[in-house]
Amino acid sequence: MPKVSIKGAQMPASPIRKLSPFAEKAKLEGKKVYHLNIGQPDIETPEVMLNAIKNIDFKVWAYTASEGTLSYRKKLAEYYNKLNYQLVHEDILVTNGGSEAITIAMQACLNPGDEIIIPEPFYANYNGFACMSDVVVKPILSHIEDGFALPAISEFEKLISPKTKAIIICNPNNPTGYLYSKEELEALKTLCLKYDLYLFSDEAYREFCYDGRNFISPMHLEGLEENVIVMDTVSKRYSACGARLGCLITKNKAVMSAALKFAQARLSPGMIPQLAGEAAVDTPNSYFEEVNKEYTLRRDLLVKRLNQMEGAFCPNPGGAFYVVARLPIDDSDAFCQWILEHFEYQNQTVMMAPATGFYSSSGAGKDEVRLAYVLNKHDLEQAMDCLEQALLSYPGRTLKISASLADQA
């Protein structure tokens, strides 16, 4: 019997999805499970998008151009130019989700054995994409105490070797919610120019910036045009994760021309997502205003509740819809499994993502979890009640329970 590949054996399982069998079991036992493990928002997809689907009038569901339809790319260029990206539609390659934009960017830019620096915790699937491309991830620790801000540039420089070819940032960040500042991006620009590195910018959460903060992209930085590759998706922007529609953006013509060959090999992105994506660009501003108001309320609720729990700490992030919280636990993988398997509060429990899967350094994140605030406020309150109670009865709790709480537990 032929063997699976080395990659097939080494490929990491998703930390977001790997506990699913325990959640399914809990549901079969009649427990209600609050899913804070995955960034699948409950927000409705804009009507203009759904209507574009319902109103299709073609007879042959055909391939589109490998780079995406001209009409969608032109409309996307309009969207990005409103954000002052100053690009033309030729700078855009339409992809099957943001995931494909990342894999194509890695394939087009990096050789096997090349190194890529990523501040950790980071989006867990970067590990998988790097494994697929035989690229080596060099993590650089960011810290919960300063809200997971960009590590000092001197820390990046310590990691740079002749094999270093790129840096990935996710902004606003998944899993931490941290929004990088103009100054942080300018510092990265200097670094990338000094060492001739690509800057991969994953901007899946661009629309979700709170408290009046502004989103800054590396696309806004003059002189970095040849180094920047933006990896984008409509998944979160329009709550359209199931569309699998993303894009790769770069002004570097050699990269775009290599990327196009990878895109041609897989023939074309989906036709219907592109029709819907084109319509989505006309989503009224009021949609985003309302959504951001809702996410802000949810974030505030979650951060407040978490910080009220004894021994827990959660920074208040500026964007996206995730937080990474520190909990008084010995092992987040064990805890996230235990809360599904052995715990219930009023017949309810919570599914969370252990933060360990978002770190590449072994041992990091063992007392941290990632929570997605993708449920409504009522459900979030219920989930926080569960978590609070679970922390009191978890056998691996690392903190003595204070007298007042002991009564309650």
The one among 243, 249, 303, 386 contacting its own copies by CB under 8 A: 243
Where in 114-153 is the site for its own copies (CB under 8 A)?
114, 125, 128-129, 132, 134
The residue among 262 and 343 lying less far from its own copies, judged by its C-beta, is 262
The residue among 128 and 315 lying less far from its own copies, judged by its C-beta, is 128
The residue among 255 and 391 lying less far from its own copies, judged by its C-beta, is 255
Q: Output the CA–CA distances (angstroms, integers) from residue 293 to 2, 208, 211, 297, 376, in the order listed.
A: 54, 10, 10, 6, 12
CB 302 within 8 A of CB 155: no
> What is the closest distance, in whole angstroms, from the C-beta atom of residue 191 to its own copies in the complex?
13
Spatial CA neighbour of 224 closest among 275, 167, 309: 167
82 forms part of the interface with its own copies (CB under 8 A) = no
392 forms part of the interface with its own copies (CB under 8 A) = no
The residue among 278 and 367 lying less far from its own copies, judged by its C-beta, is 278
Q: Which stretch binds its own copies (CB under 8 A): 50-58, 70-78, 154-162, 205-213?
A: 50-58
Where in 181-240 is the site for its own copies (CB under 8 A)?
196-198, 226-227, 238-240
User: Residue 356 is encoded by which pair of tokens?
Assistant: 């360990």
CB 265 within 8 A of CB 96: no
Where in 276-335 is the site for its own copies (CB under 8 A)?
none
> What is the closest distance, in whole angstroms, from the C-beta atom of residue 405 to its own copies in the complex?
38
Number of residues in contact with its own copies, rule: CB under 8 A?
83
71 forms part of the interface with its own copies (CB under 8 A) = no
Q: From CA 83, how far away is CA 86, in angstroms rounded? A: 8
Where in 372-391 is the site for its own copies (CB under 8 A)?
none
Spatial CA neighbour of 318 closest among 283, 292, 287: 292
159 forms part of the interface with its own copies (CB under 8 A) = no
3-state secondary structure of 14: coil
For residues 9 to 38, the per-residue mask of contacts with its own copies, x marking binding by CB under 8 A and - elsewhere, is x-xxxx--x--------------------x
175 forms part of the interface with its own copies (CB under 8 A) = no
Identity (one letter) of the amino acid at 105?
A: A
> What is the closest distance, in whole angstroms, from the C-beta atom of residue 139 to its own copies in the complex?
18
The one among 25, 84, 242, 402 contacting its own copies by CB under 8 A: 242
Q: From CA 278, how far away is CA 270, in angstroms rounded? A: 13
- The string of DSSP letters for 25-76 reads HHHHTT-EEEE-SS----SPPPHHHHHHHHT---SS-----TT--HHHHHHH
The residue among 190 and 402 lying less far from its own copies, judged by its C-beta, is 190
List the beta bridge partners of residue 79.
none
The one among 25, 27, 29, 42 contacting its own copies by CB under 8 A: 42
CB 153 within 8 A of CB 185: no
Q: From CA 169, how far away is CA 179, in angstroms rounded? A: 10
Name every residue whose Cβ is closer than 8 Å to that of residue 47 and which is 6 or more positions away in sequence.
none
59 forms part of the interface with its own copies (CB under 8 A) = yes
338 forms part of the interface with its own copies (CB under 8 A) = no
Strand arrangement, sheet containing 353-354: 322-326, 368-372, 353-354
Name every residue whose Cβ is closer than 8 Å to that of residue 28 and which is 6 or more positions away in sequence.
none
Q: Output the CA–CA distances (angstroms, integers) from residue 307 to 352, 380, 387, 396, in the order listed.
A: 17, 14, 12, 20
The one among 28, 30, 61, 378 contacting its own copies by CB under 8 A: 61
Where in 83-102 is the site for its own copies (CB under 8 A)?
96-97, 99-100
> What is the closest distance, in whole angstroms, from the C-beta atom of residue 402 to its own copies in the complex?
41
The residue among 8 and 30 lying less far from its own copies, judged by its C-beta, is 8
> What is the closest distance, in whole angstroms, from the C-beta atom of residue 325 to its own copies in the complex?
24
Where in 252-281 is the site for its own copies (CB under 8 A)?
252, 254-255, 258-259, 261-262, 264-273
List the beta bridge partners of residue 201.
169, 230
